[in-house]
Amino acid sequence: MAKRFEQYCPIAHAMSLVGERWALLVVRELLKGPRRYTDLAGGLPGIGTNVLATRLRELEAAGVIARRRLPPPAASTVYELTDYGAELEEVLHAMARWGARSLGLPRTHDELDPDWGVNAFPALLYPEHARDVTVRYVVRIGDEAFTVGLDDGCLHVAAGAQAEPDADMAMDFATFYELVTGDLAAVDAIDDGRLRVAGDRDAAIRFFEMFSAAPRMAPVAGDAEPLGPRVVPLAPA
């Protein structure tokens, strides 16, 4: 466990549980589902094996994660989030939206998980803009593709391009970054050719109203919807 701050404060207490370096990134990886030690090490380039082992022990002691032995033929140990640990999803999504606005484009030496969108799209969702929406997108960013679906406002994300989307969108990473940070309007990106759309053009424009890292706007008068995201169930990987 990280060093205690000797303050009666829930933020200080939370930091004592998950504030050590790499701890929240371990949680990020486990949001994808149960992972073996080797899976976690592969998803966290740069972490030392001794540091990973220490973080796992600390997170288990804090009740954030648990170990489970898989039955034969797998017969291996996996780590997974407890119900308490899974509640950090909302925290990490808020951090992701906040950090994305000043993150900038990836540098040549930055590692980028090929399945990064599986975490990114849930974090970017404005659920108040997606309420009762049913639609499917294929989002192609550079050489990578993701299928992003909404079923009555509930989000499902998968790596790869699944068949028959309402809109199939293609762009480079720089364009995607400008669109989700609000620096570029989707209609302008379509008009100048940086966002290429097959299918429903209006659905493509609406995508970047529902998925954004731009600051949340205050609700209009009489709107009871709270500011910030609400938890949306995700489909299992």
In angstroms, the CA 79 to CA 35 distance is 5
> Helices 23-30 and 88-103 meet at what angle, rounded to 10?
110
Taking only the tens place, the pLDDT of each residue in 13-71 is 999 999 999 999 999 999 999 999 999 999 999 999 999 999 999 999 999 999 999 98
| Number of other CB atoms surrounding residue 90 within 10 Å | 15
Distance CA 40, CA 90 (A): 21
DSSP letter string, 41-68:
HHHSTT--HHHHHHHHHHHHHTTSEEEE
pLDDT of residue 5: 86
CATH of domain 10-86: 1.10.10.10
User: What average pLDDT is seen over the chain?
Assistant: 89
For the chain, the structural domain boundaries read 10-86, 89-237
Instruction: Sort strands 167-171 and 135-141 into parallel, antiparallel or unpaired.
Output: parallel
CATH class of 89-237: alpha beta
Profile the chain (237 residues) by mean pLDDT over runs of 10 residues. Answer: 81 94 96 95 94 98 96 89 97 94 89 86 91 96 96 95 95 97 96 97 96 71 45 44
Say if CB 30 and CB 52 are below 8 A apart: no
Q: Give the integer Cα–Cα distance in Å for 213 and 218.
A: 15
